[in-house]
Amino acid sequence: KQEVTQIPAALSVPEGENLVLNCSFTDSAIYNLQWFRQDPGKGLTSLLLIQSSQREQTSGRLNASLDKSSGRSTLYIAASQPGDSATYLCAVSLLAGGFKTIFGAGTRLFVKA
Amino acid sequence: ETGVTQSPTHLIKTRGQQVTLRCSSQSGHNTVSWYQQALGQGPQFIFQYYREEENGRGNFPPRFSGLQFPNYSSELNVNALELDDSALYLCASSFQVWTTFSGNTIYFGEGSWLTVV
Q: What is the mean pLDDT of residues A58-74?
A: 96
Q: Which residues of B touch A103 (CB under 8 A)?
A: 35, 42-45
Closest-CA residue in chain B for A5?
A: B42
- Nearest CB among A46, A100, A101 relative to B105 is that of A46
The pLDDT confidence band at residue B98, using thresholds 50, 70 and 90, is low
- pLDDT tens digits, B20-48: 999 999 888 889 999 999 998 999 999 99
B101 pLDDT above the threshold of 60: no
Nearest to A44 among B45, B54, B108 (CB): B108
Whether A11 has a pLDDT exceeding 90, the answer reads yes
Distance to chain B for A78, nearest Cα, Å: 23
Nearest CA in chain A to B46: A100
Q: Return the pLDDT at B26.
A: 85
Residues 6+ apart with CB under 8 A from A96: A2, A27, A29
Q: Is it true that the peptide bond before B43 is cis, omega within 30 degrees of 0? A: no
| CA separation for the pair B105, A57 (Å, rounded) | 13
Asked if the model's pLDDT at residue A43 lies above 60, the reply is yes
**C-beta of residue B95 within 8 angstroms of C-beta of residue B41:** no
Contact criterion met (CB < 8 Å) for A43 and B109? yes
Contacts of B53 in chain A (CB under 8 A): none
Mean pLDDT value across residues A66-72: 94
Report the pLDDT averaged over residues A51-79: 95
| pLDDT tens digit sequence for A18-41 | 999 999 999 888 889 999 999 988
DSSP labels, A40-57: TTS-EEEEEEEETT-SEE
CB nearest B45 (choices: A31, A100, A106): A100
